[in-house]
Amino acid sequence: GTAGVAIAGLLGAVRAQGRPMIDFPKQKIVVAGAGSAGIGVVNAASRTMARMLGNNEVAFESARSQFWIVDAHGLITEERVDIDPDARPFARRKSELTHQGLNEGASLIEVVKKVKPDVILGLSAVGGLFSKEVLEALKDSSSSRPAIFAMSNPTKNAECTPEEAFSIIGEKVVFSSGSPFDDVDLGDGKIGHSNQGNNMYLFPGIGLGTLLSGARIVSDGMLQAAAER
């Protein structure tokens, strides 16, 4: 469910940038958190990208290359000792690192500065992880409307607040959180919207669809389809 609602939000962010949905596979996404939620979202989002690109081996490799995963020890690369098997497919290759000026264990700030991502996705359960320095670095995003997904719950675990995001990056940022936050008054009659990316928005439709169709199994593909709709 978390992966499904994250994909819905990521696709929404592409639309908010004024780009066609088919541009989703071009999004550069930095993910903070390599637990089951973080890897689950990356797996599902990469499958969505790959399907848009033709659903073959080349498509999956291209999709994989759009993600940079950072955990408590920094950027995950193929040089990581005892790498989690679930994270291994998304570990950055040595050849990519040289080109990007990054290395194993690079900090979140370093990664955001060098990658200039379209999206930073927080599933770390570390409150305040998207610090002033990280948000300042995101101002150099290659996107006209960078997106921040502070998905960790409860509120105290959110990687940043909408106030922090809008005050540092400005009104162009797209903000979503797992916990509810109030919208932000930006002055001059402008509102910074705090979108809530919580899986409670996905499950009622999944439940109703399952009942109406009589499906005996809720597959990954069904969650994927719900997210895309």
Binding residue numbers = 153, 198
Listing DSSP states for 175-190 in one string gives EEESS----EEEETTE
Length of the chain equals: 229
Using an 8 Å Cβ cutoff, are 227 and 11 in contact? Answer: yes
Here the tokens at position 144 are 């006209």
Using an 8 Å Cβ cutoff, are 87 and 39 in contact? Answer: yes
Binding residues for (S)-malate: 153, 198
Other beta carbons less than 10 A from residue 73's beta carbon: 11
3-state secondary structure of 76: coil
Here the tokens at position 59 are 């498509």
How many whole angstroms separate alpha carbon 167 and alpha carbon 185?
A: 10
Question: Taking phi first (over 0 means left), then psi (-120 to 50 degrees means alpha), and beta for anything else, what does residue 179 get?
Answer: beta
Residue 74: φ, ψ to 5°: 100, -165
Give the torsion through C-alpha atoms of 14, 18, 23, 26, to 10 deg.
-70
